[in-house]
A and B are shown apart, each in its own frame.
Chain A
Amino acid sequence: MDELDNLRRCLLDELAGIDEPAALENLRVSALGRKSEITQRMKDLSQLDGEARKTAGQALNRLKDEIQGAIDAAQRRLAEAALERRLAGERVDVTLPVAFETTGRIHPLSQTIDEIVAIFGEMGFRVAEGPHIEDDFYNFTALNIPPDHPARQEHDTFYLPEKPDGTRKVLRTHTSPVQIRTMLTEKPPIRIIVPGRTFRFDHDATHSPMFQQVEGLVIDKKVHMGHLKGCLTEFCRAFFDVDDLPLRFRPSYFPFTEPSAEVDIGCRRSGGELKIGNYGEWLEILGCGMVHPKVLANCGIDPTEYQGFAFGMGIDRIAMLKYGIPDLRIMYESDLRWLRHYGFVPLDRPSMIGGLSR
Chain B
Amino acid sequence: MKFTLSWLKSHLETEADLDTIVGRLTMLGLEVDGVTDRSKELAPFRVAYVISAEPHPNADKLRVCVVDTGTERIQVVCGAPNARAGLKGVFAPGGSTIPRNGMVLKPSTIRGVASNGMLCSAFEMGLSDDHDGIIELPEDATVGEPFARVIGLDDPLLDVKITANRADCLGVRGIARDLAASGLGRLKPLDTKKIPGRFASPISVAIADPEACPLFIGRYVRGVKNGPSPRWLQDRLLSIGLRPISALVDLTNFMTFDLDRPLHVFDAGKLTGGLSLRSARSGESLPALNGKEYALESGMTAICDETGVISLAGVIGGDSTGCSETTSDVFIEAALFDPVRTAATGRRLNLQSDARYRFERGLDPAFVFEAMEIATRLVLDLCGGEPGEIVVAGAEPPWQRQVALRPERVASLGGLAVEEAEIEHILTALGCGVERENGRFQVALPSWRGDIEGEADLVEEVLRIHGYDHIPVVPMSLDTALPRPALNAAQRRAGLVRRSLAERGLNEAVTFSFMSSALIGAGNQTFFGEVKPELLVANPISADLDLMRPNILPNLLSAARRNADRGYGDVALFELGPQYGDDTAGGQRDIAAGIRVGRFSVKQWNDPGRNVDVFDAKADALAALAAAGAPIENLQVTADPPAWYHPGRGGSIRLGPKTLLAHFGEIHPRFVTALDLRGPAVGFEVFLDAVPFAKSARQRPPLKLSSLQPVERDFAFLVDTSVTAEQLLRAARGVDRKLICDVRLFDVYTGVGVPEGKKSLAVTVTLQPVEATLTEGQIEAFSKTLVAQVMKLTGGVLRA
Report whether chain A binds chain B: yes
- Chain B residue with minimal CB distance to A163? B534
- Chain B residue with minimal CB distance to A162? B538
Q: How far is the CA of A229 from the CA of B472 in the complex (A)?
A: 8
Are B483 and A124 in contact, CB atoms less than 8 angstroms apart? Answer: yes
Chain A contacts with B in 123-145, Cβ cutoff 8 A: 123-127, 129-133
Are B475 and A197 in contact, CB atoms less than 8 angstroms apart? Answer: no
Are B508 and A106 in contact, CB atoms less than 8 angstroms apart? Answer: yes
Instruction: List B residues at the A interface (Cβ < 8 Å).
Output: 26-29, 31, 163-166, 339-340, 343-344, 347, 360-361, 411-416, 454-457, 459-460, 463-464, 468-469, 471-476, 478, 483-488, 491, 495, 498-514, 533-542, 545, 548, 556, 559, 562-563, 566, 568, 571-574, 576-578, 580, 583-585, 587-588, 601, 604-607
Are A230 and B475 in contact, CB atoms less than 8 angstroms apart? Answer: yes
Are B339 and A334 in contact, CB atoms less than 8 angstroms apart? Answer: no
With A251-B460, A334-B563 known as contacts, the answer to whether A229 contacts B474 (CB < 8 A) is: yes
- Chain A 81-107, CB within 8 Å of chain B: the 1/0 string? 000000000000000110100111111
B26 CB to closest chain A CB (Å) equals 6
B348 CB to closest chain A CB (Å) equals 13
Give the most central of A229, A258, A345: most B CB within 10 Å.
A258
B264 CB to closest chain A CB (Å) equals 22
- Chain A residue with minimal CB distance to B347? A153
Q: How far is the CA of A186 from the CA of B472 in the complex (A)?
A: 30
Are A252 and B509 in contact, CB atoms less than 8 angstroms apart? Answer: no
B489 CB to closest chain A CB (Å) equals 12
Give the most central of A131, A218, A248: most B CB within 10 Å.
A131
Are B343 and A234 in contact, CB atoms less than 8 angstroms apart? Answer: no
Chain A interface size, as a band, is 35 or more
Count the A-B residue pairs with Cβ separation under 8 angstroms: how many?
A: 265
A327 CB to closest chain B CB (Å) equals 14
- Chain A 130-173, CB within 8 Å of chain B: the 1/0 string? 11110000000000000011110110001111100000110100
- Chain A residue with minimal CB distance to B538? A159
Are B512 and A210 in contact, CB atoms less than 8 angstroms apart? Answer: yes
A79 CB to closest chain B CB (Å) equals 32
With A150-B360, A154-B164, A159-B538 known as contacts, the answer to whether A104 contacts B563 (CB < 8 A) is: no
A98 CB to closest chain B CB (Å) equals 8
Q: How far is the CA of A354 from the CA of B285 in the complex (A)?
A: 68
In the complex, what residues of B have CB within 8 A of residue A199's CB? 513
A279 at the interface (CB under 8 A from B): no
Give the most central of B26, B474, B533: most A CB within 10 Å.
B474
Are A106 and B499 in contact, CB atoms less than 8 angstroms apart? Answer: yes
A-B contact pairs, 12 of them (CB 8 A): A103-B504, A120-B486, A126-B486, A127-B486, A132-B578, A133-B580, A159-B538, A160-B535, A203-B541, A229-B473, A234-B475, A250-B26
With A148-B344, A334-B509 known as contacts, the answer to whether A253 contacts B468 (CB < 8 A) is: no
With A103-B502, A148-B339, A231-B476 known as contacts, the answer to whether A339 contacts B509 (CB < 8 A) is: yes
Chain A contacts with B in 309-345, Cβ cutoff 8 A: 331-337, 339-340, 343, 345
B561 CB to closest chain A CB (Å) equals 10
In the complex, what residues of A have CB within 8 A of residue B469's CB? 248-249
Q: How far is the CA of A228 from the CA of B542 in the complex (A)?
A: 39
A57 at the interface (CB under 8 A from B): no
In the complex, what residues of B have CB within 8 A of residue A262's CB? 31
Q: How far is the CA of A132 from the CA of B31 in the complex (A)?
A: 31
- Chain B residue with minimal CB distance to A251? B29
Contact of B563 among A150, A231, A335 (CB under 8 A): A335
Are B415 and A224 in contact, CB atoms less than 8 angstroms apart? Answer: yes
In the complex, what residues of B have CB within 8 A of residue A109's CB? 510
Are A225 and B484 in contact, CB atoms less than 8 angstroms apart? Answer: no
Given A104-B574, A160-B537, A259-B464, 17 more A-B residue pairs with CB atoms under 8 Å apart are: A110-B508, A120-B486, A121-B483, A148-B343, A149-B164, A158-B538, A158-B541, A160-B583, A224-B414, A227-B475, A290-B414, A293-B454, A334-B559, A334-B562, A336-B571, A346-B503, A349-B499
Are A252 and B541 in contact, CB atoms less than 8 angstroms apart? Answer: no
In the complex, what residues of A have CB within 8 A of residue B501's CB? 104
- Chain A residue with minimal CB distance to B486? A121
- Chain A 275-307, CB within 8 Å of chain B: the 1/0 string? 000000000000000101100000000000001
A117 at the interface (CB under 8 A from B): yes
